[in-house]
Structure 1
Amino acid sequence: MISEQDRADAKRLWEYHQMRHHARPCSVAIGLGSHDLGVADTAVELYRRGLAPLLLFTGATSPTTRERMPRGEAVHYRERALELGVPETAILVEPRARNTGENIRFSRELLAEAGVPVSSVLLISKPYEERRAYATARKLWPEVEIVSASTPMTYEEYSDSIGDERLVIDMLVGALQRLVVYPEQGFMIRQPVPDDVMDAYQRLCRNGFTSRLLATDTTTS
């Protein structure tokens, strides 16, 4: 059972995870691979708006995408973009990355190999992964400007699209934990976490929304 307090806490995390950047023209738009084809749809929309001359999709497969995207996340994103009318010449595919750090590193390498000058990146992710993607990119690609983007959705709309609100809350909790733990491991820059966000996170952990937590978690003490 998800209580009203649980839902209020989840919404607080949802709001925190989004960077609220204003989308503006960038050298390239990078779509981070996942189970969510909405990332590809949003990348195409931004391309059509003239905010990036080139789309790069990055991602291999994971346990959650292997059946749905057997050819790899980036390949399926590319196929979606082609269906929506983006020309082949405006799409690059990076098919090896298996985590956010690899998404950034391998994309950077591919663009360098292709001779694409990059001063800014429109970084497109799932809505609740905006801050994690931003913090990772700022650590691994500090010389470029990072503009975060995702499909505009409310917490309720996203939960309805997934069809499992409890899983959504688990993912929000897991993403918050990584923002706290990963900077210490050198994976991303540190992001300030407001007290009310941390309080919401800790209540959700105590209430059992823990399936996406790392085993090394020490933030609930």
Structure 2
Amino acid sequence: MSDLPSDLEIARINAEHLISTPIRSADLLFVFGTRHGVGETVQAALELWRRGFFRHAIVSGGLTAGDTRTECTIIKQAMVAGGVPEVLILEEHRATNTGENVIFSLPVIDSALGRENIGSVICLGKICTARRYPMTLHRHWPDVEKMLLTINPYGVPVERWHTDALFRERVLLEWRKIEPYKNRGFIADWP
């Protein structure tokens, strides 16, 4: 994707999509699996743990090409090595996209913790996908309070995303999914 966004589209994406929310202590950290930015994702999760921002976590992500371990296994092992107690991290090993992350994780959460016992969730994932994480969660679990923390694995400041070809491609790809996904019922508006 080589098209350059207009100044207006850049401004809209910055304001509406490349967002984070204030973070406070939550019942659950929802780590959306990735094969790019694993180190940054783990470091963000460890920082949240050290600061006491979650009581339990779920890591969701299936197999990716070229690896015999799931994204969940890779991320969870690194979180445990960094000090998060293994028993506090729930696992989901099948998801291959954001929708599956949520759909496959909810029964795991129900079984281990009971969704009714979770009042707040911090969504953790890559900046390019940003608000689509809580929008997907909101579609399937509207009652829980959602917060969003993103990581940037691109080596370019977020405000300069449009100047880097790969970062721009990923952001525009994700941004352009929002309306079609809403229309198809995959995601829901989230404040």
Tell me the residue number matched to 2:99.
101
Greater displacement, 150-159 / 19-28: 150-159
Could you tell me how far 1:75 is from its partner in structure 2?
Answer: 0.6
Cα contact 1:29–1:123 (8 A) shared by 2: yes
Cα contact 1:31–1:125 (8 A) shared by 2: yes
Could you tell me how far 1:19 is from its partner in structure 2?
Answer: 2.7
Cα contact 1:14–1:172 (8 A) shared by 2: no
- Equivalent in 59, 62, 76 of residue 61 of structure 2: 59
- Equivalent in 69, 75, 78 of residue 77 of structure 1: 75
Tell me the residue number matched to 1:170.
169
Distance in 1, Cα, partners of 2:176 & 2:10: 16
- Identify if the C-alpha distance between structure 1 residues 74 and 10 changes in structure 2 by more than 3 Å, giving closer, same or farther: farther
Tell me the residue number matched to 1:125.
125
Structure 1 unmatched ranges of 5 or more? 193-221
Q: Which residue identity lines up with residue 50 of structure 1 in the other structure?
A: G
Deviations 1:152-197, CA, capped at 9 Å, x for gaps: 789724699xxx93122111111111111101100011479xxxxx
Query: How large is the RMSD of aligned CA atoms in angstroms?
Result: 2.9
Q: Where do 1:5-20 residues align within 5 Å? A: 12=11, 13-14=13-14, 16-20=16-20
Structure 2 unmatched ranges of 5 or more? none
Q: Which residue identity lines up with residue 47 of structure 2 in the other structure?
A: E
Deviations 1:39-84, CA, capped at 9 Å, x for gaps: 222112111111101121100034xxx22x5301111001111221
Distance in 2, Cα, partners of 1:175 & 1:148: 16
Could you tell me how far 1:27 is from its partner in structure 2?
Answer: 0.9
- The SS at the match of 2:169 is helix
Distance in 2, Cα, partners of 1:191 & 1:53: 24
- The SS at the match of 2:20 is coil
Larger Rg: 1
Q: Where do 1:1-221 residues align within 5 Å? A: 12=11, 13-14=13-14, 16-35=16-35, 36-37=37-38, 38-62=40-64, 66-67=65-66, 69-116=67-114, 117-151=117-151, 156-157=156-157, 165-190=164-189
Cα contact 1:74–1:93 (8 A) shared by 2: yes
Cα contact 1:120–1:145 (8 A) shared by 2: yes
- Identify if the C-alpha distance between structure 1 residues 150 and 112 changes in structure 2 by more than 3 Å, giving closer, same or farther: same
Distance in 1, Cα, partners of 2:9 & 2:155: 8
- The SS at the match of 2:118 is coil
Distance in 2, Cα, partners of 1:53 & 1:152: 24
Q: Which residue identity lines up with residue 188 of structure 1 in the other structure?
A: I
Distance in 2, Cα, partners of 1:83 & 1:9: 44
Cα contact 2:138–2:189 (8 A) shared by 1: no
Could you tell me how far 1:87 is from its partner in structure 2?
Answer: 1.7
- The SS at the match of 2:146 is strand
Q: TM-score, normalised by structure 2?
A: 0.83
Q: Percent identity among equivalent residues?
A: 24
